[in-house]
Amino acid sequence: MGILEDHINNYTRFEQPAVQTMRDDGKREKTGNSLSHYLCDLNESMSKQLNRKMLVELKNNLSNVLFQKEYTYTHVTQFLAHMYESIEGNPIILKALEQIKKMDEYTFAHSVNTAFYSMFIAMWMDLQEQDIINATQAGFLHDIGKIYIPEAILNKPGALTRQEYEIIQLHPLYGYSLLNEFSEFNLEVKRAVLFHHERIDAKGYPLCATDDYVGLLPKIIAVADVYDAMTTNRIYKKGKTALEAIDYLSHQGRSQLDNRVLLHFLNNIPVYDFKAS
């Protein structure tokens, strides 16, 4: 554990890469290495407008899930409210999410979907309320580090080169580093962002962390992340059907993803998910 913690501490001290922004003429330019300098140019009216936009987006996405029990909708609204409250007063996080939305519409929609799936998994596992809130927050923010990944790589229509894939693999570190600047997010949420691509066979990334070190919350995000990614169309591939994804997770997924989390997910998702209906 000490070695991994040293790795995490070292990564959070790394200088973050230069971020690309859009000039008025539509061309991208580098704006330097300071995230706070880049993101804190949000005035009050812009912040309020962005808050409203994101809240509407979250509410609209509720229609993507078929609620079978009346109490479920109440709980979902409650946990989404907690998640949103922690984000709406943080202009840096808001600006980062807006930048992701501009760069890659898929990543933003995927983040919303992953938040819902993560929230439901935590509810199906009968976790405590704070753990459900953490799962929802972490699901929504799990890919926030992709703000540092060049758009050309995020939206590349063909297969990634080895070097490009290695760049993609850095996004959990970047996300952790970003969230680590803020006390609004507890350590469990930050660790979930860092570890959501780790696997139980210790062959995940970015740290090849062992199963006993990762913890439960990242494993919940991992299942939600994989399922939504598999069932969503991308520019370079067509998404699998819900039944195909469920079959994959029921078999091959057991060697990579936490089996207890998978069991709760697979036992419930055919009933609740609009993709599986």
Q: Give, in degrees to the nearest 5, the angle at Cα 213 between 208 and 218.
A: 80
Mean pLDDT is lowest, of 36-45, 91-100, 195-204, for 36-45
Label residues 75-98 b or e (16+ Cβ within 10 Å = b): bbeebbebbbebbbebbbbbbbbb
In this predicted structure, the answer to whether residue 204 has a pLDDT above a threshold of 70 is yes
In this predicted structure, the answer to whether residue 12 has a pLDDT above a threshold of 70 is no
Contact 191, 209 (CB under 8 A): no
- Compare 120 and 197 and report the one with higher pLDDT: 197
In this predicted structure, the answer to whether residue 3 has a pLDDT above a threshold of 60 is no
Among 85-99, 126-140, 245-259, the range with the most confident prediction by mean pLDDT is 245-259
Instruction: Look up residue 8 and give its two tokens.
Output: 């995490």
Q: What's the confidence (pLDDT) of residue 73? A: 61
pLDDT in tens, 130-175: 898 899 889 989 999 998 999 889 888 888 899 999 999 999 999 9
Dist CA 235 CA 159 (whole Å): 11
Query: Average of pLDDT values for 70-98?
Result: 69
In this predicted structure, the answer to whether residue 27 has a pLDDT above a threshold of 50 is no
* Nearest CA among 73, 60, 175, 49 for reference residue 113: 60
* Residues comprising the chain, all counted: 277
CA torsion through residues 26, 31, 35, 39, sign: negative
Q: What's the confidence (pLDDT) of residue 106? A: 81
In which region does residue 233 sit, left (phi positive, over 0), alpha (psi from -120 to 50) or beta (all else)? beta
Q: What's the confidence (pLDDT) of residue 238? A: 82
Q: What is the mean pLDDT of the chain?
A: 76
